[in-house]
Amino acid sequence: MANVDKKTLEEQIKIQGEIVRKLKAEKADKDKVTEEVNKLLELKKQHGDNGPKKFVLKTPKGTRDFTPEQMAIREGVFDKIISCFKRHGAETIDTPVFELKETLTGKYGEDSKLIYDLADQGGELLSLRYDLTVPFARYLAMNKVSNIKRYHIAKVYRRDNPAMNRGRFREFYQCDFDIAGQYDPMLPDAECIKIVVEILSSLDIGDFVIKVNHRKLLDGMFAVCGVPDDKFRAICSTVDKLDKTFWDDVRDEMINEKGLDSEAADMIGEYVQFKGGLDLVNELLKDKNLTTKKNAVEALEEIKLLLTYCEAYNVSDKVCFDMSLARGLDYYTGVIYEAVLTAHSHQASASGEENVGVGSVAGGGRYDGLVGMFDSKGKKVPCVGVSIGIERLFSIMEAKALAAAKKVRTTETEVYVIAAQKGMVEERLKLCNALWDADVKTEQSYKKNTKMLSEFQYCEQNGIPLAAIIGQSEIETGVVKLKIIGSREERDVPRSDIVQEIRNMLASLKIGKESTSGN
């Protein structure tokens, strides 16, 4: 009888599911759809009571789990990035993973459609944060903060079409560094570029270039090319796609989707080919069309100052003034920049010679008006910042580790405590306790009696450098036998000196390893 009931329920669920799908396709009355959905859920609930529930074992689309090996790589990257941020004097903050919907609305241009909205919660309309910049601006306005240098590393969410093989997810980390405050032109901006160079160089992921441009220069260029004022932001969002697609596609979108005149689009196509350094800036300062626009001239002078500061920081070989760089977010007001790996970059031109790659690994710019949007009196706090494309970096680092076929250490254990005979578990516990109290990273087996050969193999497999061996003879003589796993060298160390000797041996092993890798 139970089997018949189950089959009947399954048939009813199938029929009810078709009813719901039909109503949704017909865009039926919301209340009617809800009523039929509730019927379907009730049938499924009854069906679930007849046997064990079958789970679909997968992560949601655009998300993933991380193995211990992957987490070890990620933590190593985070450590280097945080170290750089702290070296430049930054402090950190945190903000909620969701914000009031009105806080996020209207800040991201066309990308606003990618914001995740949440169900009504007690009268508040909420959305998951899209980035860390808008919450930062809200934080500054809410707390009346006018000067801060901060970093923030946290997850953000985008209702995007994921391309996980290229580091594009719906849930991912952002690593942001921002300087807020009224300062002299281009000094904070140049330091942001310096930070990107330091981080990408420390990760050893290959050659890269940091493209720079200026939002006011783009506006001046659009005006010169005949773009109507009300289309500036829309055309900017289209130009921003040049690092992902070809010029012909961008031109087609400008004309056929954004309604731009073909002559204006072709003039933009000529300007976006320009890239170079100070020489290009000086050439553009002689451009009879651009120099009629005050904002374009101001922008060129600021880029000139920025490139001069980059020379002083000794990073000018990594920086390129690129007129094709747009960055489509609405809140940018000044200098913008984007770092791309030269081995993977996308070179867009009007000539049709393109090379599509994986996209940027860092980006940012100046956003002087964003904080003022949240302040009741419209008080502005000038800001400039950079976001490291951490997921793309992780994808590259993971691929490198896989190609090298090198085992990744997933723990930081320094010493493994081993008993030389049976019945010595309490002595092991005492030694482990002493080492933990001295902040030595220590492990032991959870079996009372163990085989030493198996313990040594465990150390080798997990990259643990030292073993501390204790037996009856060691207890009687007041020593501990320390063994270097790699060389199998052993020495007896007085119990009172064990912590200091472990530290000396670890330091010696680290120096030796660095010396070998240097050769």
265 pLDDT band, cuts 50/70/90, is: confident
467 pLDDT band, cuts 50/70/90, is: very high
User: For the chain, how long is the longest CA-to-CA vector?
Assistant: 93
Mention every residue, 6+ apart, whose C-beta is less than 8 A from residue 495: 478, 479, 480
Distances (CA, A) of 339 to 161, 290, 321, 391, 392: 23, 26, 12, 14, 12
- Domains recognised in the chain with CATH numbers: 2-50 (1.10.287), 68-402 (3.30.930.10), 415-517 (3.40.50.800)
Residue 81 predicted with pLDDT over 90: yes
* pLDDT value for 349: 39
* pLDDT value for 227: 84
Residue 504 predicted with pLDDT over 50: yes
Least confident among 91-100, 230-239, 286-295: 230-239
Residue 164 predicted with pLDDT over 80: no
* pLDDT value for 46: 76
514 pLDDT band, cuts 50/70/90, is: low
Who wins on pLDDT, 47 or 228? 228
Q: What is the arithmetic mean of pLDDT over 231-254?
A: 82
* pLDDT value for 518: 53
- Length, in residues, of the chain: 519
Least confident among 259-273, 374-388, 450-464: 259-273
Q: Give 126's DSSP letter.
A: E
* pLDDT value for 268: 86
Q: Give 315's DSSP letter.
A: -
* pLDDT value for 347: 43
State what percent of residues in the chain have pLDDT above 90. 57
State the distance between the two ends of the chain, measured CA to CA, in whole angstroms: 77
* pLDDT value for 169: 86
Q: Residue 270, SS3?
A: helix
Distance CA 160, CA 173 (A): 15
Nearest to 238 by CA among 212, 269, 280: 269
Q: What is the arithmetic mean of pLDDT over 292-299?
A: 93
**Tokens read off for 264:** 């204006």
Mention every residue, 6+ apart, whose C-beta is less than 8 A from residue 100: 124, 125, 126, 127
307-333 residue pLDDT tens: 999 999 999 999 999 988 988 677 899
Residue 452 predicted with pLDDT over 50: yes
Nearest to 390 by CA among 43, 72, 81: 81
The region that residue 123 occupies, defined by phi over 0 for left and psi between -120 and 50 for alpha, beta otherwise, is: left
34-77 residue pLDDT tens: 888 888 888 887 776 555 567 788 999 889 999 999 999 999 99
Phi, psi (degrees; rounded to nearest 5) at 228: -60, 150
Average pLDDT across the chain, whole number: 88
Least confident among 10-19, 202-211, 272-281, 467-476: 10-19
166-182 residue pLDDT tens: 667 899 999 999 999 99
351-409 residue pLDDT tens: 444 333 456 899 999 999 999 999 888 899 999 999 998 888 888 888 888 888 778 89
**b/e burial code for range 82-91 (CB count within 10 A of at least 16 → b):** eebbeeeebe
Residue 432 predicted with pLDDT over 60: yes
* pLDDT value for 51: 55
The region that residue 328 occupies, defined by phi over 0 for left and psi between -120 and 50 for alpha, beta otherwise, is: alpha
Helices (H), 240-348: 247-252, 262-271, 278-284, 294-312
What does 187-235 look like in DSSP terms, one character per residue? HHHHHHHHHHHHHHHHHT---EEEEEEEHHHHHHHHHHTT--GGGHHHH
